[in-house]
Every structure is written in structure tokens, then in C-alpha cells.
A and B are shown apart, each in its own frame.
Chain A
Amino acid sequence: MKETILFDEGYQWIMFGRDPDKPEGIIDTNQFMIKDGNRNVLLDPGGIEIFSSMLACVTRYADPSEISDIFASHQDPDIISSLGLWDRAVPHAKLHAPWLWEGFIRHFGCENIQYCGISDEGGEIELNHTRLQFIPAHYLHASGNYHVYDPEAKILMSGDVGAALEPEGAPMFVEDFDQHVQKMILFHQRWMPSNRAKNDWIRRVRKLNIEIMAPQHGRLFKGDDVKRFLDWFEALEVGTGIKNTARSYA
């Protein structure tokens, strides 16, 4: 699994992805780790199939006993179906995940890890060098959904927002935004259900100072591409699956 350091000033943001060991037919995912002394956080640690690669990667940076927190943006299997295995690897850790999905996420196995439900308004956790913010992103795409903003590193981990369907081995960062758009259209139009939720999220996210926007699939956005993405997303109509169905059965 490829490792990329996104931020390294007193503490680190590390991204893991493009796993060559991943079985065929499952979507490629980006996983993140914030390494901050004795506080180490995994963001959307991924599905069962990539658990071994992830655990090996994470252990290179910290002893499993030092993984203090896990964050799950929502309940999808590619986000957190590995929970039952992390439950054995880091039984002392806390899981920060939408309160709405607790009864569902626990189906993946959560006997030891403490489930800390994030309220609809969002929340925060304090690390040694920064205070992470859980930014509400409800209906983008799950009905209970959050992103993680780090005001020190100026990184927004944006879950499925900004995701793209890419062939294997795609670069880590967007290089040509206009070309990249084609890889994002279907994902956003079909997976995101609500224009109202989308615009509400954009209005809030525009107030944040973001250097890197890091989605859970595909490439990351850096610098001006973050603003380009927000403008593009604002103009995009989402929830198009309804229209397609209406046409099919008209």
C-alpha cells in the first residue's frame, strides 16, 4: 500500500492507498492516519479486505497500543467493515462515528472499542498539537455523515465528496482539474442525493481555510483546486438517479 505524508510539522498526516494487494472488483480507497505523539487517529480505516495492508502500514508509524482513536465518516463497508478486526488490534481505542449509525456499524463487530456517537451538529477531539473538527456532511452521501477538518494542517478529509472513479495506480493529487472533472461527475450525481444538503455543506466549507481536500476515493485536491472543486460542485445537479428511474418507467 502506498504511503504519502500530507503534513509534517510537529505531527503528521499520512495517507495510505493504491493497495496492490487489494482483491479485484473492490473500489480503491484512501485511508488516513494522524500521528501526534501518543494520540494516533485512523480516519476511515477501510474494509476487511485491506485490513492486513492497513495494519502493517499503520504499525510502521505507531505501536497498535498507541492508536487512540478511529473515525468513521459513515457506515459504508469500504469505510469501516474492518471494525471487527480493529476491535482485536486496538481494543482500547475510541470510535468516533455518526450517532445515527451506531446500531448499524456495530454489526461489523465492536465488543471492545468504545463507540462515541457524533451528534448531528458535529464535534471535536483534542490531540496534542491540534483539535480535530467533525464537520457535518449529512446526506453527502449518507444520512449521518461527517468530514474531518484540521485547522492546523489545513486539511479537510472530505469522505465521498470529491471522490473520483479512477483506474488503478492513479496519481495522489489532481494535476489537471478540468480533465479530472470527467472522473467525478457520475460519482457525485449518482451517489449524492440532495442539492440542498450539498449547498449547505459548500456554504460552511467555504469558510474553512483549506490547503488540501482529501476524499476517500481518487485524487486529493491542493491549493486553488480546492476552490475549483467547490465551484464545480456548487454548479452540479445531484440526485440524478431519480430522473433516470422516471425515464425508464415512464
Chain B
Amino acid sequence: MNRHRHQQAFFVSSAVVASRLRTVMQIAKEISLAAKNAKAIAERAGEKANSFKPITDFIDEMGRETIQLVEEINDQALSVSRSAVEEFRCSDASARFVRATELLGDNERTKVLSEKAEAIRKDAQRQQKEVHQQAMQLLDLLQQIGSCMRASGVISTRSRVEAVTAEEYQESLQVVAETIEKASERIKGIIRDCENTIHHSM
């Protein structure tokens, strides 16, 4: 019974992760937009923001990478959810075949039902392994976003430093740095929640 509750939690939790990633996607798009802004400001600033220009490429790349990772994670989360549903159905079927075998009792055909129950149990076990494997891949992808966001911390610090030399453009570039910092913090928070959700279901 506990096993069933655990499995049910899993196919729900992976679907929950998929839904939370919509927000991450939105924030990643905000990062990309911030990168475009930063590029435009750096262009206008000319030589005054020379050292800032390469950073804008990093920010842009980080935004695109995050969007791509979110898409991958979304597919993976839905795939885990589907496999977990199948595992639940398999385990449920296995329990019902075992019950049928018990109800049949001592009968010449008990062996036939037992064999079927055993085959389904093995199916359920195989399915369970697959779910676990897929969940580990999901966690790995979530960690990749986490690493990406840690790098963004470095980028935003660097942005602040470089913005100082941009004279009248300093304020605008500071705003870009802040936007990126806040966006990465929000993503890190959501990713942590997602990781916890998956861990609790495993």
C-alpha cells in the first residue's frame, strides 16, 4: 500500500516539476532580453564599455542554454511521469493478479495464475528501474541548470565591476547586472524546489 502511495507521488511530482519549469522558461527569456539590452547599451557606449561587451555574449549564451535545458528537462519530466503512471498500473495489475491467485486457492489452474502474476510483477519491477533511471537523468539536467546559474553569479559580479568604467552608462549596465542576478536567484530557488520534490518521491 505504501509502495502505491510512493508511486502515485512520483508521477504527480514529475508532472509538478514540468509545470514549475514554465516559470523558469519565462525567467530565462527575461535573461535573454536583458542580454540584448546590455548589448544595445554597450554598442551605444562604444569604447567606454569595451570591457563589458564580451560579458553580454556570455549572458546571451547563458539565457539560450537555460532555455534549451528547460525544454529538455520538461520532456524528461513528462517522460518520467508517463513511466511512473505505467509503473503504477503494472504494480496495481500485479496486486490484482496476486489477489486472484489467493481467491482461486488450491486449484489445478493456480499455477497458471501464479505465473501470470509473477510475469506482471517482473514487468512492474522493470518499469520501476526505468522510472528510477529516468529520474536520475532528470536530476542531472536540473543540476546542469543549477551550474549554469552559479556561473551567472560570477557574470553579474563581473558586470558590476565593468559597469563602473562605463561613465554615464554605468547606471544602465548596473540595472542589467541586477536583473541577471535576481533572475538567476529565482531560477536557483525553483530548481532547488524541483530537486527536493524529486528526491522526496524517490
Contact = CB atoms under 8 A, between A and B. Distances in A.
Interface of A: 21, 48, 51-53, 55-56, 59-60, 63-65, 84-85, 88-89, 109
Interface residues of B, number: 16
Contact of B109 (A51, A52, A59, A89): A59
B100 interface: yes
B112 A85 contact: no
Across the A-B interface, give the 4 residue pairs with the lowest CB-CB distance, nearest first.
Answer: A56-B103, A52-B99, A55-B100, A52-B100
Contacts of B112: 59, 63-65
B20 to A, nearest CB: 28
Given A63-B112, A64-B112, A85 B93 contact: yes
A53 B103 contact: yes
A175 B103 CA distance: 31
Contacts of A52: 96-97, 99-100, 103
A52 B97 CA distance: 6
Contacts, number: 50
Interface string B131-153: 00000000000000000000000
A64 to B, nearest CB: 6
9 contacts: A52-B97, A55-B96, A55-B104, A56-B103, A59-B104, A59-B109, A60-B107, A63-B109, A64-B109
If over half of A's interface residues share one DSSP class (helix, strand or loop), that class is named, otherwise mixed; here it is helix
Most buried by B among A21, A53, A88, A109: A88
Interface string B82-108: 000000010001001101111110010
Nearest to B110: A59
If over half of B's interface residues share one DSSP class (helix, strand or loop), that class is named, otherwise mixed; here it is helix
Contacts of A88: 93, 97, 116, 120
A104 B99 CA distance: 28
Nearest to B95: A52
A109 B113 CA distance: 20
A89 B117 CA distance: 9
B96 A51 contact: yes
A64 B103 contact: no
A85 B93 CA distance: 6
B160 to A, nearest CB: 57
A56 B104 contact: yes
A82 to B, nearest CB: 9
A51 B113 CA distance: 13
A215 B101 CA distance: 28
A13 B99 CA distance: 25
Most buried by A among B99, B100, B109: B100
Given A52-B99, A60-B109, 11 more contacts: A51-B100, A53-B103, A55-B96, A55-B104, A56-B104, A59-B100, A59-B109, A63-B112, A64-B112, A85-B97, A89-B97
A55 B113 contact: yes
A24 B100 CA distance: 19
B109 A55 contact: no
Contacts of A109: 89
Contact of B116 (A21, A48, A89): A89
B96 A60 contact: no
Nearest to B99: A52
A59 B113 contact: yes
B103 A84 contact: no
Contacts of A53: 100, 103
A52 B96 CA distance: 5
Contacts of A56: 100-104, 113
Interface string B64-86: 00000000000000000000000
Contacts of A64: 109, 112-113, 116
